[in-house]
Amino acid sequence: MDYKASGVDIDAGNEAVRRIRGLARSTFTPAVLSDIGSFGGLFRLDTGRFHDPVLVASADGVGTKLKVAFMAGKHDSVGVDLVNHCVNDILVQGAEPLFFLDYLATGRLQPDVAESIVGGMAAACRENGCALLGGETAEMPGFYADGEYDLAGFIVGAADRERLITGRGIGEGDALIGVPSSGMHTNGYSLARRIVFEQLGLGVDSHVGELSTTVGQALLEPHRSYLRLVRPMLDGELIKGMAHITGGGITDNLPRVLPPSTVARVDLSRWSMPPLFAWLMGQGRVPLDDMLRTFNMGVGLIIVTSPAKADHVIEELAARGGRDARVIGDVIAGDGPAVSYTGRFPAA
């Protein structure tokens, strides 16, 4: 008996690292002081960029969207999902990404799959201007089903302390600007998979007329990064608070940036429910309240600003490709439900 016979192929691991090394190097910035393969990644913080630097860190995963990737045999987009989700999580506090690390665990390591996953991560890191500094690839036979894996991402960014976006200045009358999502992003897949694959019996290659695409293409649409849209506004006084609309939807995420004695009033008539969510809601007969607490419903980011600056923020977003951003509600005084919904989604 040897290690390979027990399910761990060290040679496959070395081959995966060989393929990954070039992808990671393509993301390196001048601040990276180490190479892939070191025990720890080295990164020099450019303190000249910041008056009083604060490091902002976050960790997340892709959830059961991975199950759809397994079924479709498509693995690069989940790497993009992982990076962009983490970038957005620190962006809403005013931080720009510095470096990213990943954890990939699988039952049997397949170098081509690992290369595809990391290729997606590297592409997203380059797009967001952060370095893929390192990571861990773990082969764990008997722990994961054959052909399956799990992903986690860890990001570190920085911001000037005086420019951190904390929501403290939010008050009654402030406007809520919704920025469109690119699909389901990385949340709500347990419900969506049950509707699509268990209840309807569809496959990833099934074409759905209401969506004008296949199930797999609709469900695997990558998570959008909002960094390019928002970065130029981080230096000014336009933004009072931001919420990344992830698990829990608007219902649970928007209150995270509201100060005490304020609540959000969201007008559903201000935007149209995207076809994917309307289709899932109808096919699964999912109550609207549950939809709003499970999915982003077409709004991936909410920016809070003063009503006098709302048009300026929307213009700034549009100038960088953030079309269809719009005011979707306001902040009011109160101690009731943290988010109240008014109006109805326009009919398709």
One-character DSSP codes across 158-178: EEEGGG---STT--TT-EEEE
The per-type count for the chain, helices as H runs and strands as E runs, is 11, 12
Q: What are the start and end residues of each CATH 3.90.650.10 domain in the chain?
A: 175-342
CATH class for the region spanning 10-163:
alpha beta
Tokens, residue 268? 């559903």
Tokens, residue 346? 């326009």
Helices assigned H by DSSP within the chain: 10-25, 65-72, 76-91, 111-128, 189-193, 215-219, 227-230, 249-253, 275-284, 288-294, 310-319
The three-class DSSP label of residue 182 is coil
pLDDT attached to residue 235: 84
Sign for the CA dihedral angle at 97, 305, 268, 345 comes to negative
pLDDT attached to residue 10: 79
Q: What are phi and psi of 213, to 5 degrees?
A: -165, 180
pLDDT attached to residue 11: 80
Q: Is the pTM above the cut of 0.85?
A: yes
Tokens, residue 128? 């967001």
pLDDT attached to residue 204: 97
pLDDT in tens, the chain (348 residues): 766 766 677 788 788 888 899 999 999 999 999 998 889 999 999 999 999 999 999 999 999 999 999 999 999 999 999 999 999 999 999 999 999 999 999 999 999 999 999 999 999 999 999 999 999 999 999 899 989 999 999 999 999 999 999 999 999 999 999 999 999 999 999 999 999 999 999 999 999 999 999 999 999 999 999 999 999 999 878 999 999 999 999 999 999 999 999 999 999 999 999 999 999 999 999 999 999 999 999 999 999 999 999 999 999 999 999 989 999 999 999 988 899 999 999 986
| Vertex 99 angle, CA 84 and 51, to 5° | 110
pLDDT attached to residue 347: 81
pLDDT attached to residue 2: 67
The domain covering 175-342 belongs, at the CATH homologous superfamily level, to: PurM-like C-terminal domain (3.90.650.10)
pLDDT attached to residue 144: 93
pLDDT attached to residue 3: 61
Contact 146, 84 (CB under 8 A): no
pLDDT attached to residue 214: 98
Q: What are the start and end residues of each CATH 3.30.1330.10 domain in the chain?
A: 10-163
Between the CA of residue 121 and those of 6, 116, 136, 151, what are the distances in Å?
A: 30, 9, 14, 11
Q: Which amino acid is at 76?
A: D
Contact 255, 339 (CB under 8 A): yes
